[in-house]
Amino acid sequence: MARKDLLDIASLHREEIEFLLDQSTSFKKLFTRSVKKIPALEGKSVLMLFYEASTRTHSSFEVAAKRLSAEVTNFNIDHSSITKGESVRETIETLQAMRTDYIVVRHGHSGLPGMIARQTTASVINAGDGAHAHPTQALLDAFTIKEKFPDPRGKRVLIIGDILHSRVARSTSTLLQKLGVEVAYLGPGSLVPKYGPATIPRFTDYEAAMAWAPDVVYLLRVQLERQDVQFFPSVREYHRVYGITNTRLAEISDRGLYIMHPGPVNRGVELCDAVMDYERSLITNQVENGISVRMAVLDWLTPGGEFPRQEAYATPQRASSTVIMP
Amino acid sequence: MLLLQNTRIASENSPVLLESDVLIVEGKIQDIGSSLAIPEGARVIDARGRVLMPAMFDAHVHFRAPGFENKETITTGSEAAINGGVTGVVMMPNTRPALDSATAVDTVLENATHRSRIPVYTSGCVTKNREGKELAEIEGMRGLGVKMLTDDGDTTADPAVLLRAMQYATEFGMFFASHCEVSELAGPRALNEGVMSYRLGIKGSPACAEEIIIDRDIRLARAAGAHVHIQHVSSKLGMETIRWWKSRGDVKVTAEVTPHHLLFIDEHIGDYDTNYKMNPPLRTQADCDALLEGLIEGVFDLIATDHAPHTPFEKAQDFISAPNGITGLDTALVSLHHFFVEPGKFGWDLVVKRYSAEPRRLMGLPVAAIEVGQEANCVLFDTAAETTFTREFMKSKSQNTPFIDQTLKGRVDLVILGTEILLERE
Ligand SMILES: [Zn+2]
């Protein structure tokens, strides 16, 4: 059952997911001990390769690796420079030469962690690639939900916001569906694509979505910086139409719904300030659970294997001298 | 002197193959008939069971010279053509510098005559440096035999510029080839917008980005009294748009389809396989089916490969960084045989018509045919043999094709052009 890489949720089997969530529970129990470190990954090296800045995910992985006694290195990336595939390729060659055991990678291009995984012997963990996948976020979301609903089958999660650009929406909804949770999307028509999975109901009206009777309301971060064109008229209008306003929070509270958010929160956009003090907000639980889930993932993966796994670019070009001339 | 015995002759006019001997003398087809006498000194080839057809002509290729000789050169590109049974090509002008002047065209054609064993033609740009702003020196290029004008790779975005170009160049008997895409809708990633783009998390290009320009450019051509040729159509509605305009009959419009748009769909991209990244993007099965329908019906006048080489290094990047395009010359004829002729979806007559005769007519060139008195310009094709598209087999400098290491049924055995045997496989 051992895997080399964790690149997405779609390819994970249900048993693997259950196993990882169980392991996360065990790791979380360690947190109450005075010595939080265990020697599981002693002598192993974890390399952090973040082409997109992310304090939250980055530090969560770093803490997780250190609690497993791994050595953590940050590969410095100049975030102002263009990091296209070609420069990444040079980096991969360097990394392979360093024989690092794990690479935790985040990049704006979908599919790029997979490319690294094929070209190195290291275990590659996708910490978010473009609008494709964010598997550890999905695992920590599922873990957080299972803490409240030990048997989550049949529970309903309403994901609100920018579905089009969200790797969180894709991975979390895929994982929740694998666990028998029902998922629905709500957001502006320009950000909830019609060609998304047919098994996920799609709402553009808040009242209609609430009538679907969710147990959890999951707000996505509005990635204002990611939108190369305007998808909705204004942040104010977004908050009014799709956000959790004070009035809506009162209703959510009455109905006893949980609120989640992958962070960092745009206050006054996805949700009003009062949500931060709402007793059924699971936002800080998500952050805390991120560490144990990532420990479980690191502990589970097995670095090594053949190299190179894809020889495409290693093939030398045919010399032009072999071409027959008249 | 060459005598091909018991071959089966393909022609654009008949679905039935004519079994016959063919005698070629001094580069011309001298005699066709059963049991021809063997002239003294003639080389005899037992071509029993093999199909003899007019050689192919590809009206849409990228040979990357000048400027990108690491991807392809006129020599390697034309050798790839011969390898696939193609004896004439029209290059696209999106080189560096772009072919937007008589000087640039002259240099390329001068090069082509020295570096290629087949005739190589080129199209010219509509606008200077393909920027879509100022008209290229169109008449100067005409003087060098350029007939096709295109900013291929990009749409001439400003309709006023294209309309003026059409009004101007039509007077010189030139025509326009349109790469159809609203860039604001399409984005840079060359993936069909739909289920697959959602799953892969890549911004997709909707089919309407293509369909809008197909319609726009035909309307502009109609207004200008110009001839417009629609390049590499990928969508069902694009095909239907062309069909509708053709049925009206008040504008001269021709169109082409590529083998890869007839064969592959977006789902083939699978786990970000960059060999399936091309522009226009691969779309859905419904689009694919419609394109085949359009080809058989004649909505598409010709098949062209859009042969688009890129180095292994460039294609081995992630899907978003990798460039668009796949090679096509080495593989086109065999793939058409394997996937369409062999299963009976269409006959050799369609292949000859769409991939040999019509492209030559489009360019105003004499049509090759296996007839007495014609120049020998033909391919002997073994329908029972197989071809494995190994890296060694490919003559293109680049090998960015999904067919790499695939084995397909059919083999180009012999390519003859005039007095030269350009290829003989044994
Ligand atoms: Zn093109």
- Distance (angstroms) between ligand 1 centre and the Cα of B63 equals 13
- Closest B-chain CA to A192: B198
Q: How many residues does chain A have?
A: 326
* Chain A residues in contact with B324 (beta carbon < 8 A): none
Chain A residues close to B199, C-beta within 8 Å: 10, 170
Closest alpha carbon within chain A to B272:
A111
Q: How far apart are CA B340 and CA B336, in angstroms?
A: 5
Q: How confident is the model at residue B22 (pLDDT cuts 50, 70, 90)?
A: very high
Token pair 């929740």: residue:
A176
Interchain contact A115–B (C-beta under 8 A): yes
CA nearest neighbour of B89 among B65, B71, B53 = B65
Q: Is A54 in a helix, a strand, or coil?
A: coil
Beta bridge partners of B423: B415
pLDDT at residue B7, as a whole number: 98
pLDDT tens per residue, range B206-216: 999 999 999 99
Chain B: give the shortest CA distance to residue A98, in Å. Answer: 21
| Cβ atoms within 10 Å of A53's Cβ, excluding its own | 10
Kindly list the protein residues that place their beta carbon closer than 5 angstroms to ligand 1, a single-atom ion: B 152, 179
Chain B residue with minimum CA distance to A84: B321
Cα B61 to middle of ligand 1, angstroms: 9
Best of A5, A115, A165 to mutate (most B CBs within 10 Å, chain B): A115
**Structure tokens given for A82:** 């263009």
Nearest-by-CA chain A residue for B199: A132
Task: Say if residues B209 and B186 touch (Cβ distance below 8 Å).
Answer: yes
B89 CA to middle of ligand 1, Å? 15
B155: left (phi over 0), alpha (psi -120 to 50) or beta: beta
Give the model confidence (pLDDT) of B23-76 as tens digits.
999 999 999 999 999 999 999 999 999 999 999 999 999 999 999 999 999 999
Q: What percent of chain B has pLDDT over 90?
A: 98
CB contact under 8 A, B321 and A109: yes
Residues facing A202 on adjacent strands? A185
**Catalytic option among B58, B217, B306, B349:** B306
Taking contacts as CB-CB distances below 8 angstroms, the residues of chain B near A133 are 201
* Cross-chain residue pair A324–B79, CB shorter than 8 Å: yes
Mean of pLDDT values over B267-294: 96
Q: A163 vs chain B: nearest CA distance in angstroms?
A: 10
Predicted confidence at residue A83, as pLDDT, reads 60
Q: Which one of B117, B201, B317 has the shortest CB-CB distance to A110?
A: B201
Please provide the distance, in angstroms rounded to a whole number, between the alpha carbons at the two ends of chain B. 20
Residue B306 appears among annotated catalytic residues: yes
- For the record, the structure tokens of B96 come out as 């560096």
Of A88, A110, A323, the CB nearest to B319: A110
For residue A323, the model assigns a pLDDT of 23
Chain B contact for A310 (CB, 8 A cutoff): yes
What's the CA gap between A101 and A139, in Å, rounded?
22
Ligand 1 centroid – CA B260 distance (Å):
13
CB contact under 8 A, B391 and A315: yes
Distance B122 CA to ligand 1 centre (A): 14
How confident is the prediction along chain A (326 residues), in pLDDT tens digits per residue? 579 999 999 999 999 999 999 999 999 998 878 778 999 999 999 999 999 888 999 999 999 999 999 999 998 787 666 566 667 888 888 888 888 999 999 999 999 999 999 889 999 999 999 999 999 999 999 999 999 999 999 999 999 999 999 999 999 999 999 999 999 999 999 999 999 999 999 999 999 999 999 999 999 999 777 555 688 888 899 999 999 999 999 999 999 999 999 999 999 999 999 999 999 999 999 999 999 999 999 999 999 865 544 443 333 222 222 222 22
Inter-chain CB proximity A85 and B317 less than 8 Å:
yes
Mean pLDDT of chain B: 97
Task: Provide the number of CB pairs (under 8 Å) joining chain A to chain B.
Answer: 95
What is the distance in A from the centroid of ligand 1 to the CA of A273? 51
pLDDT at res. A84: 63
**Which residues of chain A have a CB within 8 Å of the CB of B318?**
85, 88, 109-112, 114-115
Find the CB nearest A323 among B313, B315, B395.
B395
Tell me what ipTM this predicted complex has: 0.90
A311 interfaces chain B, CB cutoff of 8 Å? no
- DSSP for residue A52: S
- Would residue B138 be called left, alpha or beta, if left means φ above 0 and alpha means ψ between -120 and 50 degrees? alpha
Question: Which of residues 22 through 51 in chain A touch B, CB cutoff 8 A?
Answer: none
CA distance A201 to chain B (A): 15
Q: At what angle do helices A283-300 and A14-30 cross, to 10 degrees?
A: 110
Residue B58 CA, ligand 1 centroid: distance in Å: 14
Q: A299 — contact with chain B (CB < 8 Å)?
A: no
Whether A192 and chain B come into contact, CB under 8 Å, resolves to no
User: Which residues of chain A lie closer than 8 angstroms to B284, CB-CB?
Assistant: none
Shortest CA gap B46–chain A (Å) = 26
A251: left (phi over 0), alpha (psi -120 to 50) or beta: alpha
Phi, psi values for residue A71, rounded to 5°: -95, 130
- Does A194 lie at the interface with B, CB-CB under 8 angstroms? no
Which residue in this structure is represented by tokens 């020697």? A39
Closest partner residue to B201 among A115, A130, A320, by Cβ? A130
Q: Are B391 and A85 an interchain contact pair (Cβ–Cβ within 8 Å)?
A: no
How far is the C-alpha of B54 from the C-alpha of B370, rounded, in Å? 6
Gap between the Cα atoms of B115 and B76, Å rounded: 9
Q: For B160-169, what is the mean pLDDT?
A: 98
B198, B321, B420 ranked by CB distance to A196: nearest = B198
Residue B325 and residue B282 in contact, taking contact as beta carbons nearer than 8 Å? no
In chain A, the N- to C-terminal Cα span, in Å, equals: 58
Residue A230: closest CA among B388, B184, B68: B184
Contact between B318 and A318 using a beta-carbon 8 Å cutoff: no
